Amino acid sequence: MKEPKFHRIFQYNLALLPNAHLARLEKGVRTIDTAKERSGFSIGYPGWGLIYHILLSHLDPTRYNNIVETGTNWGCTTIVLAQALIDSGCSGHVYTIEIDSKNCKVAIDNLLKARVFDKVKLINEDSKKALPAIVEQVDEIRIAFLDASHLYEDVLFEFKTIYPKLNEHSLVIFDNTYQIAEPHEDQRVNGALRYIHRHFGGHLINFEFVSWSTPGLAVWQQEPLEEQRLYE
């Protein structure tokens, strides 16, 4: 593996965060080690702001918005997803999946302190079991944030599982997109995104200077414009 890069920002105006509890967790944080003690392995800022504004700009007021997250960790990015749903005024729910029961306990505490718990359904299970069950329950998925295992096959499993419930405007967000793997190693998220682009098409945009160890955040969408051609 290549040396990891770090693009999490610490010295910024905490008032920019979408939730007061996140601001409390970030207060005085200046290093990655302290950040891990406060908010776990969350993407941090500016990733929280990026995801918040993506959702705020894309949640649909005319339908029920199902948001799916894999890899809850301590619930910090879950707070951002739920806060965006609340602030948008749209109806919907956040389904979030976390395999580690200890992480789930911390996440529940954070979600309650952030006052967003009623918008979240937290599932303590492997995403390989929980994700297919969610897909069976919902009519469609408006936004997904896939951030559990970053191994190539696991990322593809999650994407392929949710794919039947995506419409042309649904967004799928991926964390840790930097090409950290050497050619002989598991190609992780970066390799999975290359596969998705080749075999599923769609449109992909990558934000390089977000997140940390491994950085990068990408957004995939099948068809950003209406089905009819822009110019006919």
Domains along the chain?
A: 14-221 (3.40.50.150)
Q: Structure pTM?
A: 0.95
**What string of DSSP letters covers the chain?**
-PPP-B----SS-GGGSSSHHHHHHHTT--SHHHHHHHHTT---TTHHHHHHHHHHHH--TTS-EEEEEE--TTSHHHHHHHHHHHHHT--EEEEEEES-HHHHHHHHHHHHHTT-GGGEEEEES-HHHHHHHHHHH-S-EEEEEE-S--SHHHHHHHHHHHGGGEEEEEEEEEE--S--S-TTS--HHHHHHHHHHHHH--EEEEEEEEEBSSEEEEEEES-SS-SS-S--
Q: What is the pLDDT along the chain (232 residues), one digit of tens a residue?
A: 888 889 999 999 999 999 999 999 999 999 999 999 999 999 999 999 999 999 999 999 999 999 999 999 999 999 999 999 999 999 999 999 999 999 999 999 999 999 999 999 999 999 999 999 999 999 999 999 999 999 999 999 999 999 999 999 999 999 999 998 788 998 999 999 999 999 999 999 999 999 998 999 999 999 888 654 444 4
- Chain segment 201-220, per-residue pLDDT in tens: 999 999 999 999 899 999 99
